[in-house]
Structure 1
């Protein structure tokens, strides 16, 4: 019987279909281009190969092609019921829950599945990363939970390049930056054509304040990574963060105009939304000039794609757009919906979300005191919105600047001192100088 790269049986009689599936899984786990082509080739070679259909559905879901994802995963479910092992049936059932957006049920199913089949990498991938089931669970401790999950199953994977990149990043986000980087570097050494490992290394360098080193990594590696790669734009976004740290707004804007503009970017929509909106917001927050029409362009991209969002991470970026474009109707509608969900108890991230959204609106209106007032009681809960430390830091930046501009200098200095203790930052050092009263 054919097997995947992790030794798990595959219900296909076609050697070529199994090979195409294995190739597709590796490309998807590395966030490398052409994974969809590999899965489609596997389906062509064996139209009844359930896991190939399931993997193709997963890519449809990543790119928010909801109808295609639902149709394709239904085909996988029908096929696996007729010709599938218990592992494959559980694999497809778990992906059904994830694709249908049933996050809590999908996480429960994932953890149960891994008890029996820990080396099922496609399922192990679901709770990991900044956009995984754990990150978007609303839990405050999701960074620690990802580390614990990887620690638990590390022996099952050994020196596997994919698992090491995830384990390394989980360690980094949980605060063990040196070990996280070392583990990620082992992954990168095993497979250089692994955008996930490069991305994880960039996060380790960000957390350590090694932004020049991060720039060098990107410049020396990205030439081999096609622009159609899922993480191409986001890896360049990390360069923009480094530019802003150095006070180089022109460099950050160049990343936006050359790479991130929605009409040019081929990344999954969630990456495009978050990268564009958060970078433009950072520029706005520091009073740098944003290109004319940039916000309108991002708004036009987001409007048809995120009509029914329920994730705090998505809401954060949609409200940035609405606030920056002075879309009063959108702001009122989103806030009303979020406040209603909080009252109903259906908001996984809890009370931080309405506070955060009201704060963003106040900041755009230059109501610094109101922004600080909204964020002060919930700033310790930022992890609950999901994403990575680097992505969530935009809210902390907004908070610090609102404190400085409202005259709450002692409070701003305390926040900055905590950040500077964690990692060096030229930008935070500049901001801290603004909190020190001039000598009498």
Structure 2
């Protein structure tokens, strides 16, 4: 029996395997690509090391790539077939059950099982990190906050990874709406570890949710070397930077970021960031056909089979943006067939049925200028789009599509409701005031439209 860096017992590992495992956890918490090499090195030294196998499985499953999940499923099944399950330590058995639930497509059961592990072992960094990602993929803001908050008192100021735990907590606080506390905790996390990209990301989200886009740009600029290279999260944080540029009305800067960083993405996460940026530009009348065509070419292999409805939405955005409606409709038909064969416990089926398919159909309707259909599909689900994962900032693409469809389709009563909601949550957002101006213009109130646009300009100048 051996002990990991956080004081937890493990079986089946040599000292060298433990060193690689501990370093892999460090790399994981930093979102660095070296996590794969360290994980592989641990298993090369001790092939049946239970926590090494568990870590490798989580790494394969949490990329949201179907091919990675398939490979992880095969490796884990082969390992389980050759080990004596009852001989594992209780925590190891609990992780095996959590991984198996995830392999079976049951995100919710996996999250619950990881929660039980955290209750007994609050210093299990892998359980916290994997659980945090599961909460993100299922859009569970309360668990994003409380899974970490409930473990936090077991961590101490001199712990190597206490800053990373704080970074996770800051993101959970932000998604749950505690913006002041999120900023405080996130800044502390980054103070403890300047290269905690998840902590930086949490602070950036907090500024986004408060409409503090000037603060966000300055924060990212001041820490450029800490977040812009060497991690899985480079592209995503550049995406946040581009959102700040769009909020300030600087579409040219956003496109420069797209061309320099987001274009040519390889992973589903990178592709969805690219689609999400171009879709926001499309909503504002900037079609970007050439960029859409290149992006649409990258999606088919990644959505060839149902795996994660949130990815499906971004693939459909890309097809619609490129004018490839046949591809979008083919994906939708494939997901309809997927739902026709119920698979109890598969979380993605519920995501697809309740949110994914309505959103995909609405995007196609919007692209075809059938704005009434887009509104009728999106308005009933607007308060539950969190169910297919992502963050508030990411899901805002859906809300902005709904708002734009009400304006273009003349559904002005609904547009008034949506604009009023946005302005009263974020009165410092230039985008919200521009939409107030567009609504007032359609209502024939030119004075109110001019006043709203002046307000937007004033907010931009203040940054």
TM over 0.5, yes or no? yes
Q: CA deviation at 1:228?
A: 4.5
| Residue of structure 2 in register with 1:324 after alignment | 321
SS of the aligned residue for 1:281 comes to helix
CA drift at 1:25:
0.1
1:6-405 correspondence to structure 2 within 5 Å:
6-11=6-11, 14-63=14-63, 64=65, 65-74=68-77, 76-77=79-80, 78=82, 81=85, 84-128=88-132, 132-137=133-138, 142-159=140-157, 160-225=162-227, 227-262=229-264, 265=265, 269-290=267-288, 292=290, 294-339=291-336, 347-349=349-351, 350-405=353-408
Q: TM-score, normalised by structure 1?
A: 0.89
DSSP-derived class of the 1:247 partner: coil
Q: Quick one: structure 1 residues 213 and 331, their matched pair in 2 at CA, closer, same or farther if it must change by over 3 Å? A: same
- Asked if the contact 2:303/2:312 (under 8 Å) is kept, the reply is no
- Measured in 2, the distance between the counterparts of 1:402 and 1:214 equals 29
CA distance in 2 between counterparts of 1:278 and 1:439 reads 32
Distance 1:391 1:166, change over 3 A: same
Residues 100, 367 of structure 1: alpha-carbon distance in 2 compared, 3 angstrom cutoff = same
Instruction: Check 1:217–1:101 CA distance in 2 against 1; reply closer, same or farther (3 A cut).
Output: same
* Higher fraction of helix: 2
**What secondary structure is seen at the aligned counterpart in 1 of 2:326?**
helix
Q: Quick check: 38-47 or 387-396, which moved more? A: 38-47
For the 8 Å contact 1:342–1:351, the answer to whether it is kept is: no
Higher mean C-alpha deviation, range 36-45 or range 16-25: 36-45
Could you say what secondary structure the match of 2:383 adopts? helix
CA, structure 1 residues 320+151, in 2 after alignment: closer, same or farther (shift >3 Å)? same
Unaligned runs of 5+ in 2: 344-348, 448-463
376-385 or 328-337, which deviates more? 328-337
| TM-score when normalising by structure 2 | 0.84
Compared with structure 1, are the counterparts of its residues 232 and 383 closer, same or farther at alpha carbon in structure 2 (3 Å cutoff)? Answer: same
Structure 1 residue 373 displacement after superposition: 2.4
Partners of 2:174 and 2:225 in 1: how far apart? 26
Deviates more, 1:383-392 or 1:341-350: 341-350
Q: Mark the CA change 1:200 to 1:439 in structure 2 (over 3 Å): closer, same or farther.
A: closer
Whether the 8 Å contact between 1:277 and 1:317 is mirrored in structure 2 is: yes
Instruction: Please tell me whether the aligned partners of residues 50 and 80 of structure 1 are also in contact (alpha carbons under 8 angstroms).
Output: no
**Contact 1:50-1:79 within 8 A present in 2 as well:** no
Q: Deviations over 1:367-413 (max 9, x none)?
A: 22222222222222222221000000001111111111122334323
- Aligned equivalents of 2:283, 2:137: Cα separation in 1: 26
Structure 1's 83 and 193: CA in aligned 2 closer, same or farther, altered over 3 A? farther
Hey, what does 1:411 align to over in structure 2? Answer: 414
Per-residue CA deviations over 1:66-106 (Å, capped at 9, x if unaligned) read 34323443455445748742212322332233244332332
Matching of residue 427 in structure 1 with residue 405 in structure 2:
no
Q: What is the CA RMSD across the aligned residues, in angstroms?
A: 2.6
